[in-house]
Amino acid sequence: MVAGTGEKYKNVWTGGTFDHFHQGHRDLLDKAFEVSSFVTIGITTNELVADKKYSEFIESLDQRMKSVSSYLAERYGKDRYKFVINDSVYTEAVLDPKLSANIICFKTKHHGRNINKLREEKQITALDLVMAPSSSRNSSSSETRRLLFVEKYGHDPYDGKESNEPTVDRE
């Protein structure tokens, strides 16, 4: 425990695209603030997500940061977190030795493991992997973008085709 608080960690990492901010994002961030007094939030650049399905419907980095900031300011204030702009899933920020845990969800478990491998290669202590609740598995930014595409163009170009979304480790 962090002295004088109910939190287990001083500084944790979590990251994502945070596109079309939804309940899954809130669950992830709420878990981070539940267990830590400070949260470092990685948010992906537009360039990093340009190859995702329906990428033309991904909100701008500024809009995504505003959505997250608005939610956090309302619930946790403005001094308990910072953003790191990610141009890579495995940004240098995850190598910060002050981090003690990585808040992940069912979609990002594999990233958590890979970050720990990278930290171990650099002789930095691995992060505890803390799983956020997955009550909203059906709430996804990808699905929101798909619906926006279908609404605009009247069809789904990926229907029946292989996805270019990252694979998900469902262990």
Write out pLDDT tens, residues 89-104: 888 888 999 999 999 9
CATH number of the CATH domain containing 76 = 3.40.50.620
Alpha-carbon distance of 74 to 129, in angstroms, equals: 26
Q: What's the rounded mean pLDDT across residues 131-149?
A: 67
Q: Determine the structural domain holding residue 82 and report its residue range.
A: 12-153
Q: Is 162 domain-assigned?
A: no
Examine residue 21 and state whether it is found in any structural domain, yes or no.
Answer: yes
Percent of the chain with pLDDT over 90: 56
- Residue 118 placed within a domain: yes
Identify the band that residue 141 occupies on the pLDDT scale cut at 50, 70 and 90: low
- Residue 161 in any domain: the answer is no
Domain contains 137: yes
Any domain includes 18 = yes
Closest CA to 105 of 7, 165, 28, 33: 28
Q: Is the pLDDT of residue 153 over 60?
A: yes
Quick one: what percent of the chain has pLDDT higher than 70?
80
Please check the confidence at residue 168 and state whether its pLDDT lies above 70.
Answer: no
Q: pLDDT tens digit string along 23-55?
A: 889 999 999 999 999 999 999 999 998 888 778
Q: Taking the model in full, what pTM does it have? A: 0.80
Say how many domains are in the chain: 1
Residue 4 resides in a domain: no
Rounded to the nearest 5 degrees, what angle is found at the Cα of 89, between the Cα atoms of 49 and 30? Answer: 90
Q: Could you tell me if residue 50 is inside a domain?
A: yes
